[in-house]
Amino acid sequence: MSSTDQVYPPSPEFVAQANANEAMYSRAANDPEEFWAEQARRLDWAVPFTRGLDWSDAPFATWFADGKLNVAVNCVDRHVDAGKGDRVAIHWVGEPGDSRDLTYSQLKDEVSRAANYFASIGLVAGDRVAIYMPMVPEAIIAMLACARLGLTHTVVFAGFSSAALRARVDDAGAKVVITTDGQFRRGEPAPLKTAVDEALGSGDDAAPSVEKVIVVRRTNHDPDLPWVAGRDVWWEDTVAEASPVHEPEAFDAEQPLFLLYTSGTTGSPKGIVHTSGGYLTQAAYTFHNVFDHKEARDVFWCTADIGWVTGHTYIVYGPLANGATEIVYEGTPNSPDEHRHFNIIEKYGVTTYYTAPTLIRTFMKWGRQVPDAHDLTSLRLLGTVGEPINPEAWRWYYDVIGGNRCPIVDTWWQTETGAHMLAPLPGVTACVPGSAMGPLPGISAKVVDDNGNELPQGEQGYLVLDKPWPGMLRGIWGDRQRFIDTYWSRFAEQGWYFAGDGARYDENGALWVLGRVDDVMNVSGHRISTAEVESALVAHPAVAEAAVIGAADETTGQGIVAFVILMEESDDHDALITQMRDQVAVDISPIAKPREINIVPELPKTRSGKIMRRLLKDVAEGRELGDTSTLVDPSVFEAIRSQRA
Ligand code: PRX
C-alpha cells in the first residue's frame, strides 16, 4: 500500500457510541494481566479466580486456573436470571424456508433437557462427544449441553466424509455421536446418518469408543433409515422427553471445552484443545468490542458453519455469552436464489454481518443489482474472516453492502488462537482496505525474519505471537510433543508462537497478513493441507506419486491444483481424473477436491528428492519459472506444460 491510499476513519456518530476506545490499547499494554482479569470478570464465576496467566510450564499455559465457572450458565442461564429470558437468542432459518425462534428461556430449557439426557446415559465431565450435524438449533443446544456438563465436544463439519469423521471420533475417543437423519442441500434432502453408520463400522471394524448415536429428525426423507438397535436413539424420543430443569455444576477454568480438528503441514488433522475460562473471556471480549455489540439493539449474523472455529466462537460462545440476538441460517447463499442472505438481513433487521471474502467476491460476480434490490439500512457494522481480503472486494463490501456507512472489521485469527487476534477496533481505528490493521488490546504480535529479528515497516516476514493470550490453544489432543514442534519450535529460543502466516507492517503501521507460508492451503476460507490431499490421491491404485499446491483463484482465494504420476500409462486420463477427485471426496471431503489434476510424466525434484512445489505453483499460476538451478532435470517442465496445454 502507498500512503496515498484511502483510509476509512469511523464516522463521529459511530465513535460517539462505540464500546471500544483508544485508551484500551495503553491500558492493556501497561498491565495486560489486569486488563484480561477485567475482561474475565465480565463473566459469572461460581468461584472467583485469584490468578491470571501461569506460564511456568510454557508453552503450556493456564489462565484463571483457580476459578470455577459453567460456560453454559454464562451463555444462557445468567441472561434468563437477569430478566432477559424473553429475548430471542436465535432466529433460525432453515434452508427450505422453515424457521424457528428460540428465546433465552427456551434455550435454557432445551439445553437443560439435553444435559439431563446426556447425564442419564452415563456421560461424565471430561468425556468426549462428537457432533456431526447441519446448522440446526439442536447442534448449538448439543454443544451447550456438553459445556453444561463439563463434556468436551468435537464438532465435525457435516461436509466431511465418513472416513474423516471416523478418524476424528477415534482420535478423540468419543463416546457419543450426535447427528441428523439428513441435511438439506439446495432444496434436496441428502443423507447424513448413513455416513455416521459407515464411519462407525460394525463387528471387528466398529469404532471402539462409541456407545450411542443420537439422531435429530431433520429431513425425514427415509422411512427405512438404517438403525442399530441399542446404539441409536432419536433425539425426539430421548432429549425432548427429558426434564427441562437441570442444576449446573461449576468446572475449573481449565476444563477442556472442545477439540476442533484442523489441518497442518504434516500428518493427520490435529485436535486443537480449547478450555473454558480463558477461551470464553476472549470470545466474549472480542464479540463485545470488535463487533461493537449492543444487546438490546443488535441482530448479529455470522455466516460460518459451526463445523469451523468461526462458528464455535462467533455463533455459539461469543454472541451467547453477551446475550446477543443472532441469525443462524442452515443453507447456502444461493438457495433458493441469490437473494437469500439479503432477504434475511432485510427481514430480521440484521445490524452486524460477518462473512468470508470468498462470499463477498461471489456477491460481486452475481452483481450489485442483487443487494440493491433490498433495504439493507439496518446494517451498521460488517466483518470478514478466513483469508486476506483484496482491497477491491473490501471497497465493494463497504459501498454496496454497507452503504458507505458501516465500518469493516477484517479479523485475523486461527482455530488455534480461539478468538480474534488482529483486527481494527470499530469507532477507534481508521481502516485501510485489505489490512487487518493490528493486534487487539491485550494481544501482542510481531513481524520477524528467519532469525527472529523484528523487521522494519515495509518488509515482509513471519507473523509471530510473542505473548500468551487467554483463548490460546492449550495443546494438541493426545500429543504434547506435536504441539511443541508445530507451533513453538520455529522460534524456540524466543518462546514465540509461530502462526504459519507471512505478514508485513506498511509505512503507516498497518499490519497486512499475506497468507500461509507453510504447506497449508486456504480454499474459500477452508484450511486444507497439501499433504492430506496428496495422501488421498496416492490412495488411488493408479497413482504413483502426487504433488499438490494452492494456486491463486479469483473467487476462492486459492484453488487446489494437483500433479500426479501414474503407476503405468493409461489412455483414459479423464476417467482416472474423475476417480481421483472422488477419492479425495471420500477420504476428506468434497471441499478438498482438486480444481485441476494434471497427469504428468515426472515431478520437479531437487537432488535430495524434495518436490519443488514453488515451481509447480509458478506453472499453475502461469508465471515465469523461478530459480530451477537445484533441479535434477529442469526439462521436466516441458512435459508438464505440454500436459496442461
Ligand atoms: O492464513 C490465515 C487465514 O486462515 C488461517 C487460519 O485458518 P483456520 O484455523 O481455519 O481459521 C479460520 C477462521 C478463523 C490463518 O492462519 N486467515 C484467517 N483470517 C484471516 C486470514 N488471513 C488473512 N486475513 C484474515 N482476516
Q: Could you list the residues known to form a binding site for ATP, using ranges.
A: 386-388, 410-415, 501, 516, 527
- Pocket perturbation via mutation, ligand 1, pick of 522, 528, 529, 558 by most ligand atoms within 8 A of CB: 522
| CA proximity to 561, closest of 499, 501, 603, 513 | 603
Q: Please provide residue 60's backbone torsions phi and psi, each rounded to the nearest 5 degrees.
A: -90, 110
Side-chain-side CA neighbours of residue 50 (13 Å): 0
Q: Tell me if the pTM is above 0.85.
A: yes
Name the pLDDT band for 296 (thresholds 50, 70, 90): confident
What DSSP string describes 300-351? EEE-S-TTSHHHIIIIIIHHHHTT-EEEEE-S-TTSSSTTHHHHHHHHHT--
Q: Separation of 53 CA from ligand 1 center, angstroms? A: 25
- Pocket perturbation via mutation, ligand 1, pick of 286, 412, 431, 523 by most ligand atoms within 8 A of CB: 412
Q: Could you list the residues known to form a binding site for Mg(2+), using ranges.
A: 538, 540, 543
As beta bridge partners, residue 222 has none
Which tens digit of pLDDT belongs to each residue from 568-601? 999 999 999 999 999 999 999 999 999 999 999 9
Nearest CA, atom 26, ligand 1:
412
The grid cell for 387 is 483469508
Number of C-beta neighbours around residue 233 at 10 A: 17
Average pLDDT of span 610-623: 89
Q: Between 200 and 624, where is the model more confident?
A: 200
Task: Find out whether 275 and 309 touch, Cβ atoms under 8 Å.
Answer: no
Ligand 1 is surrounded, with C-beta below 6 A, by: 262, 309-310, 385-388, 410-415, 436, 499-501, 513, 515-516, 522, 527
Q: Separation of 197 CA from ligand 1 center, angstroms? A: 32
pLDDT at 426 over 90: yes
Name the pLDDT band for 645 (thresholds 50, 70, 90): low
Atom of ligand 1 nearest to the CA of 416: 9
Average pLDDT of span 184-201: 95
Q: Which pLDDT does position 5 carry in this prediction?
A: 67
Q: Separation of 488 CA from ligand 1 center, angstroms? A: 19
Atom of ligand 1 nearest to the CA of 516: 1
Q: How many helices (H) and strands (E) does the chain have?
A: 21, 30
pLDDT at 4 over 60: no
Q: Separation of 367 CA from ligand 1 center, angstroms? A: 26
Q: Which pLDDT does position 301 carry in this prediction?
A: 98
Atom of ligand 1 nearest to the CA of 413: 14
Q: Could you list the residues known to form a binding site for CoA, using ranges.
A: 185-188, 310, 334, 524
Q: Which pLDDT does position 304 carry in this prediction?
A: 97
- CA 332 to each of CA 411, 513, 523: distance values in angstroms, whole numbers, following the listed order: 22, 28, 17
The residue length of the chain stands at 645
Q: Separation of 466 CA from ligand 1 center, angstroms? A: 18
Which tens digit of pLDDT belongs to each residue from 492-545? 999 999 999 999 999 999 999 999 998 899 999 899 999 899 999 999 999 999
Atom of ligand 1 nearest to the CA of 415: 9
As beta bridge partners, residue 190 has 183
Q: Separation of 418 CA from ligand 1 center, angstroms? A: 11
Q: For the packed helices 193-200 and 162-172, what is the interaxial angle rounded to 10 degrees?
A: 60
Q: Which pLDDT does position 3 carry in this prediction?
A: 42
Atom of ligand 1 nearest to the CA of 513: 23
Q: Which pLDDT does position 522 carry in this prediction?
A: 94
Whole-number Å distance between alpha carbons of 642 and 645: 5
Nearest CA, atom 21, ligand 1:
387
Atom of ligand 1 nearest to the CA of 410: 26
Q: Could you list the residues known to form a binding site, using ranges.
A: 185-188, 310, 334, 386-388, 410-415, 501, 516, 524, 527, 538, 540, 543
Atom of ligand 1 nearest to the CA of 423: 26
pLDDT at 154 over 50: yes
Q: Separation of 108 CA from ligand 1 center, angstroms? A: 32
Which tens digit of pLDDT belongs to each residue from 118-133? 999 999 999 999 999 9
Q: Between 360 and 267, where is the model more confident?
A: 360
Name the pLDDT band for 2 (thresholds 50, 70, 90): very low
- Pocket perturbation via mutation, ligand 1, pick of 157, 313, 413 by most ligand atoms within 8 A of CB: 413
Domains of the chain (ranges, CATH numbers)? 445-516 (2.30.38.10), 524-643 (3.30.300.30)
| CA proximity to 58, closest of 430, 643, 512, 468 | 468
Q: Which pLDDT does position 341 carry in this prediction?
A: 98
In single-letter form, the type of residue at position 605 comes to: K
Q: Separation of 533 CA from ligand 1 center, angstroms? A: 19
Q: Separation of 416 CA from ligand 1 center, angstroms? A: 10
Per the prediction, the chain carries an average pLDDT of 95
Nearest CA, atom 10, ligand 1:
527
Atom of ligand 1 nearest to the CA of 304: 13
Q: Separation of 592 CA from ligand 1 center, angstroms? A: 17
Q: Separation of 354 CA from ligand 1 center, angstroms? A: 14
pLDDT at 353 over 50: yes
Q: Between 607 and 595, where is the model more confident?
A: 595
Q: Separation of 386 CA from ligand 1 center, angstroms? A: 4
Atom of ligand 1 nearest to the CA of 514: 23
Q: Which pLDDT does position 1 carry in this prediction?
A: 45
